Amino acid sequence: MSSEPTIKADRLAIVLNCLAAAMMMGALYMVFLYAPREINMGDVQRIFYFHLGAAWVGFLAFFVTMVSGVLYLWKGVSRWDILSNASAEVGTVFMTMAIISGSLWARPVWNTWWTWDPRLTISAIQWLLYLAYFMLRAGIENPGQRARFASVYGIIAFLTVPLSFFSIRLWRTIHPVVTSGAGTDSATGSFNMTTSMRHTLFFCLATFSVLYLTLLRHRLRLAWTQERADWLRQRVLSRM
Amino acid sequence: MQVYLISSMIQVRGLVKAFGFQTALRGIDLDVAEGEFLTVLGPNGAGKTTLLRVLATLSKPTAGVVRVGGYDAAKAGAQVRQLIGLVSHQTLLYSQLSAKDNLRFFGRLYEVADLEARIAEVLDVVGLAARRTDQVRTFSRGMQQRLTIARAILHRPRVMFFDEPYTGLDQQAASVLNKILSDVAAAGRTVLLTTHNLERGLVGCDRVVVIKRGKVVHTVDRAEIDPASFGELYQDVTQ
Amino acid sequence: MNFIRKVVAIIHKDITTELRTKEMFSSMVVFSLMAVFIFSIALDVTASDPMDTTPGLLWVTIAFAGTLGLNRSLAQEQENGCIDGLLLAPMDRSAIFFGKAVGNVLFMSMVELVIVPIFAALFNVPLLRGSVWLVVVLGTLGYASVGTLFSTMAVNTRAREVMLPILLLPVAVPIFISAVNATGGFLAGDPVSDVANWLQLLVAYDAIIIAVSFMTFDFIVEE
């Protein structure tokens, strides 16, 4: 028998909202005022902090999707699948931001909208995997089957990410991308990080992680409400 | 208190099957003794097919226990499957292969001893010996149903499930099915047959169970049924 | 031992069916020929060094021809509900996976035996050497295994066969990168130490993907 899904009042969301907002303020300050201007690329380098933050969340969210997929297959409880889906949605948004910010960074620095450098490429691959995940979910009516298939795909897809990354890096080591740039460093997209840059980067990663948790919490609440609505609808229909 | 009758071939306790929030089976308890012929009656959508699929290990229970031949269907699925044969709406036949090839394939999966001899035997029983090397896609619907029955009895299963077997059968296939049912019953096999056709359902069975919306609503021995008044009783119970 | 016999029975059934109809083989080969032709025209292969472009073209062709075969193999089990026949058999469900996967590897290999020589001839590159065949085998093993799992999923979706390439291609990226680079390396006569990295990646990928595919197959076919 299916039991009534319950939803409690959400203090956690309020706390997360405030924390995320505060940290974002801090991050903006650090990125624009605290971190120094990069010698070769100039101010456009500052996009790197958000680019990496978004890419990190995209990857983290994918990991959460995989783990909750494993838990769903193990326990059979639908809330794990709901978490998988929610995390994938939030992750896709961040991965999109990572790709766009990467592209915006590439243009002024290397005069191209896209570069096949390992980080950007692996972001694109993860984005495609996310897309496939959603297409799979959209194509299945039976909720149990949808959850099982999505869980299996999420697991396999995530496992291929490190393998893809290594293969791309090996590829780029053997065939480096030669682009025009101000100096030899920026030609391959690297720059020397000062201590304050490092501080800024870590703070940004933390900020984006909190932002991820906040958005995830909101998305989960939405999904739980949807589940309750579905359950109620089914109750009404079966009484008729 | 859960009592497991030692002589029960099939035991179902508290079987629940849900698809998302839709519950197809709402707590079924059932005992079928060895050699018993049970007819499961019920309107469309009652859950008859779902019940058979769970018993045949094609579907996993959401809750509850199913035991066939002493084996737990959820834990010892392969052993359960060795004991059972299923005849359902779909033929489960490969249309590009011949009748013999199909039977040979299933015979190998079931590790049937003396396979070639057994294939010849079942083809004779269902009256398809003459067409044994023809591809199944050249068979009529009735012939395909007969071959499906042959496939189901090939490994001499102790338990047989028939899911609405008379649907869409021609005269010849229906009479073959009747003969198989009486042969199988005479040989002491356990049979579970589902149907929504009261007339057919009452033929040859030992007991009748009526299912409505995923629950057992009536059970009665065949000997105690008066065919004339049963129609009314059925209407009452399924309303 | 019984397990292996049942796996062999499934492979034998698939081969028998294919010998009767020759559907899979012919469609895969014809598709490959058309692909080669169109690639040649569209990319004006004569303008660039074929040693650079052929490995990529070869693997793209194998990838897409492969999805045709994978789809067909599982679609056969959809007809008449045959997959239930397999699920009713008294054996571990993984036998179904291995039976279908090995069958798919065999069919892809048959097609590759035809198209690799054609590529070699058409683009005038020395593809017909043992090292290249090794790469082809390693790539096919991984691709067909995870492809078998995904096509089992795909036939159950609304979009059916179209879903398979969407699911499979991004997951198979490590195969493509490794196989293309390894093929290119062997063509150019690079020392084995250079190409070894790619081969190691392929082997690692194959091991992981085959293990995970067979472990999760049960969850895909159960209800």
Q: Please, which pLDDT band fits residue A185 given cuts at 50, 70 and 90? A: very low
Residue of B nearest to C6 (CA): B109
The answer to whether the beta carbons of residues B91 and B147 sit under 8 Å apart is yes
Kindly state whether A174 is in contact with chain C, defined as any CB-CB distance less than 8 angstroms: yes
CB contact under 8 A, A164 and C177: yes
For chain B, say whether A231 makes contact (Cβ under 8 Å): yes
- Interface residue A37 vs chain C (CB under 8 A): no
Question: What one-character DSSP code corresponds to residue B195?
Answer: E
User: In which band, very low, low, confident or very high, does the pLDDT at A190 lie, cut at 50, 70 and 90?
Assistant: low
- Using an 8 Å CB-CB cutoff, list chain C residues near A118: none
Over residues B79-93, the mean pLDDT reads: 94
Residue from the list C82, C84, C92 with its beta carbon closest to the beta carbon of B58: C84
Question: CA A151 to CA A85: how far, in whole Å?
Answer: 9
User: Residue A187 pLDDT > 60, yes or no?
Assistant: no
| pLDDT above 50 (res A184) | no
Q: CB under 8 Å to A15, separation ≥6 — which residues?
A: none
| Alpha carbon of A143: minimum distance to chain B alpha carbons (Å) | 5
The minimal CB distance from C223 to the residues B60, B106, B111 is found for B60
Amino acid at C82: C
Which chain A residue has its CA at the smallest distance from B19's CA? A144
DSSP codes joined into one string, B209-238? EEEETTEEEEEEEGGG--HHHHHHHHHHHT
Does residue A65 surpass a pLDDT of 70?
A: yes
pLDDT of A181 above 60: no
Nearest Cα of chain B lies from the Cα of C222 at a distance, in angstroms, of 7
CB contact under 8 A, C220 and A135: no
Question: How distant is the Cα of A85 from the closest Cα of chain B, in angstroms?
Answer: 16
Per-residue pLDDT at A51: 93
Instruction: Select the residue from B68, B88, B108, B109 to test the C interface by mutation, using most C Cβ atoms within 10 A.
Output: B109
Is residue C128 within 8 Å of C139, Cβ to Cβ?
no
Cβ atoms of B35 and B189 closer than 8 Å: yes
- For residues B37 and C52, the model is more confident at B37
For chain B, list the contacting chains (3+ Cβ pairs, <8 Å).
A, C
Is a pLDDT exceeding 70 seen at residue A7?
Answer: no
- Asked if residue B234 has pLDDT above 70, the reply is yes
pLDDT at position B172: 85
Residues of A in contact with B16 (CB under 8 A): 1
Q: In chain A, which residue's Cα lies nearest the Cα of C142?
A: A160
- Cβ B155 vs Cβ B112: under 8 Å: yes
CA dihedral A56, A62, A67, A73 (to 10 degrees): 180
Average pLDDT score over residue span C111-138: 92
User: Structural domain tally of chain C?
Assistant: 1
pLDDT at residue number C74: 93
Q: In chain A, whose CA is at the least distance from the CA of B214?
A: A1
Across the A:C interface, residue pairs with CB atoms under 8 Å apart total 94
Could you tell me the pLDDT band of residue A204, with boundaries at 50, 70 and 90?
A: very high
Phi-psi region of C17 (alpha: psi -120 to 50; beta: other; left: phi over 0): alpha
Interface test with A, best of C51, C74, C148, C153 (most A CBs within 10 A): C153
pLDDT at B225: 86
Minimal C-alpha gap between C73 and chain B (Å): 12
Q: What is the ipTM of this complex?
A: 0.94
**DSSP state, C188?**
T
Q: How large is the average pLDDT for residues C120-134?
A: 90
With an 8 Å Cβ cutoff, the interface of chain B facing chain C consists of: 53, 56-60, 78-79, 81-82, 84, 86, 88-97, 101, 105-106, 108-111, 135, 151
List pLDDT tens digits, range A141-150: 999 999 999 9
Least confident of A67-76, B68-77, B165-174, C23-32: B165-174
Q: Which of C2, C81, C222 sits opposite B111 (nearest CB)?
A: C2
Residue C196 domain boundaries: 2-221
Contact C171 A129 (CB under 8 A): yes
Contacts of A69 in chain C (CB under 8 A): none
Q: Are C186 and C58 in contact (CB under 8 A)?
A: no
DSSP string of C115-162, one letter each residue: HHHHHHHHHT----SHHHHHHHHHHHHHHHHHHHHHHHHHTTSSSGGG
Chain C residues in contact with B57 by the CB 8 A cut-off are 87-88
Contact flag A125-C208 (C-beta cutoff 8 Å): no
Contact C81 B92 (CB under 8 A): yes
The pLDDT assigned to B227 comes to 82
Give the model's pLDDT for residue B4: 54
Verify whether the Cβ–Cβ distance B19 to A144 is below 8 Å. Answer: yes
Mean pLDDT lowest among B91-105, B162-176, B181-195, C69-83:
B162-176
- What pLDDT, in 10s, does the model give residues C133-173? 999 999 999 999 999 999 999 999 998 889 999 999 999 99
As a whole number, the mean pLDDT across chain C is 93
- Cβ <8 Å between A159 and C223: no
For range A14-27, the mean pLDDT: 93
Q: Which one of A147-151, B42-46, B139-143, C25-29 scores highest in mean pLDDT?
A: A147-151
Q: What is the mean pLDDT of chain A?
A: 88
CB pair distance less than 8 Å for A159 and C208: yes
Nearest CB among A132, A140, A151 relative to C167 is that of A132
Q: Which of A121-130, A165-174, C206-215 comes out lowest in average pLDDT?
A: A165-174
Q: Decide if C5 and B108 are in contact by the 8 Å CB cutoff.
A: yes
Question: Would you call A42 helix, strand, or coil by DSSP?
Answer: strand
- Model pLDDT, residue A186: 43
Does pLDDT of B26 surpass 80?
Answer: yes
d(CA C51, CA C48): 9
> Could you state, in order of their start, the residue ranges of all structural domains in chain A?
11-35+45-177+193-232
Segment C175-219, tens digit of pLDDT: 999 999 999 999 988 888 889 999 999 999 999 999 999 999 999
* Residue A70 near chain C (CB below 8 Å): no
* Chains touching A, CB cut-off 8 Å, 3+ pairs: B, C
Residue A134 reports pLDDT greater than 70:
yes
**Contact A159/C157, CB-based, under 8 Å?**
no
Residues of A in contact with B18 (CB under 8 A): 1-2
Residues of C in contact with A159 (CB under 8 A): 208-209, 212
In the predicted structure, residue A182 carries a pLDDT above the cut 50? no
At the top level of CATH, the class of B8-92+157-237 is: alpha beta
- Taking contacts as CB-CB distances below 8 angstroms, the residues of chain A near B20 are 142-144, 230, 234
Residue B156's CB is within 10 A of a number of other CB atoms, namely 15
pLDDT of B6 reads 60
Q: How far is B78 from chain C (nearest CA, A)?
A: 4
Write down the pLDDT at residue A11: 87
Residues of chain B in contact with residue A81, where contact means CB-CB under 8 angstroms, are: none
Contact call for C177 and A153, based on CB within 8 A = no
Helices (H), chain B: 48-55, 77-83, 99-109, 115-125, 141-153, 171-186, 198-201, 227-237
Of the pLDDT bands very low, low, confident and very high (cuts 50, 70, 90), residue C40 is confident
